[in-house]
Amino acid sequence: MTQKYLLEISVDGLGKAMSAERGGADRIELCADLSVGGLTPSRELLSTVREKVRAPIFSMIRPRAGDFVYIPSEFQAMKQSIAEAKESGIDGLVLGVLRTGYRVDVARTKELVELARPLPVTFHRAFDECTDLREALEAVIQTGAARILTSGGASGAPQGAAVLAGLIHLSRDRVTILPGGGISASNIADLVRRSGACEFHSGLSSALPYSSTDFHAFEAEVRKLGDQLRANGEG
């Protein structure tokens, strides 16, 4: 039986979104300003990309750069951004809220997950800032989020492969673990084998700078990633 792998590509503009789709991305994570880890895209960008791209699009919901402990006005802005993303026809949302002390804010994240329904929510790499990833895993599961984007607490997913494998085992299919961070065509095959994950996330920052407007090169790198995943499907 062939294992089906899913490739999610993060982009911060229409050109890269279209290039990612042409390159074979299964899902797009749409952000503004990936140089700071990704922020909430504008309503205009959401609508423009939704009009041009048929692949599923997940919108980042992050009101500012920096930490993930939000004051009430920022939390309210996140709620408004969720409403705008849903109105734009987006397929899913990417967000996360922490409490002081580097722990998941279960109550407020759950409130956003409920507001997002029926769209699925990915808890983003705020997860990797938590001091206890096992505790954080159980906390995210309590919020109702569908998946967790994580490098396993390491600088990149390849370095955190063993931890990722452990998180996948602990999740017991209650939440999808989505490895992300430092993934490229040169290391994804090894990460597939070592982590046991079925979904993978890349912004291709190790291959191309975020500021690059060489969309042909971006498309080519996405295609290389997809080719490596298909080549590693179990036959």
| pLDDT-wise least confident of 94-98, 162-166, 213-217, 219-223 | 213-217
Rounded to the nearest integer, the mean pLDDT of the chain is: 95
- pLDDT for residue 2: 66
What percent of the chain has pLDDT above 70?
96
Q: What is the DSSP string of 10-37?
A: EESSHHHHHHHHHTT-SEEEE-B-GGGT
Residue 74: count of CB within 10 angstroms of its CB:
14
Distance CA 208, CA 77 (A): 31
Distance CA 13, CA 167 (A): 32
Boundaries of every domain in the chain = 6-230
Instruction: Give tens-digit pLDDT for 190-231.
Output: 999 999 999 999 999 876 767 677 899 999 999 999 999 988
Residue found under tokens 């982590």? 195
Q: Using the predicted structure, report yes or no on whether residue 152 has a pLDDT greater than 90.
A: yes
From the number of C-beta atoms within 10 Å of its C-beta (0-12, 13-18, 19+), residue 107 rates as exposed
Mean pLDDT of 51-60: 98
Distance CA 97, CA 135 (A): 15
Instruction: Give tens-digit pLDDT for 118-138.
Output: 999 999 999 999 999 999 999
Copy the structure tokens of residue 117.
């329904």
Which candidate, 121, 165, 128, places its Cα nearest to that of 147? 121
Mean pLDDT of 172-188: 95
Copy the structure tokens of residue 128.
């990797």
Residue 118: is the preceding peptide bond cis (ω within 30°)?
Answer: yes
- pLDDT for residue 209: 67
CATH superfamily of 6-230: Copper homeostasis (CutC) domain (3.20.20.380)
- pLDDT for residue 232: 80
Q: Using the predicted structure, report yes or no on whether residue 1 has a pLDDT greater than 80.
A: no
- pLDDT for residue 235: 37
- pLDDT for residue 230: 86
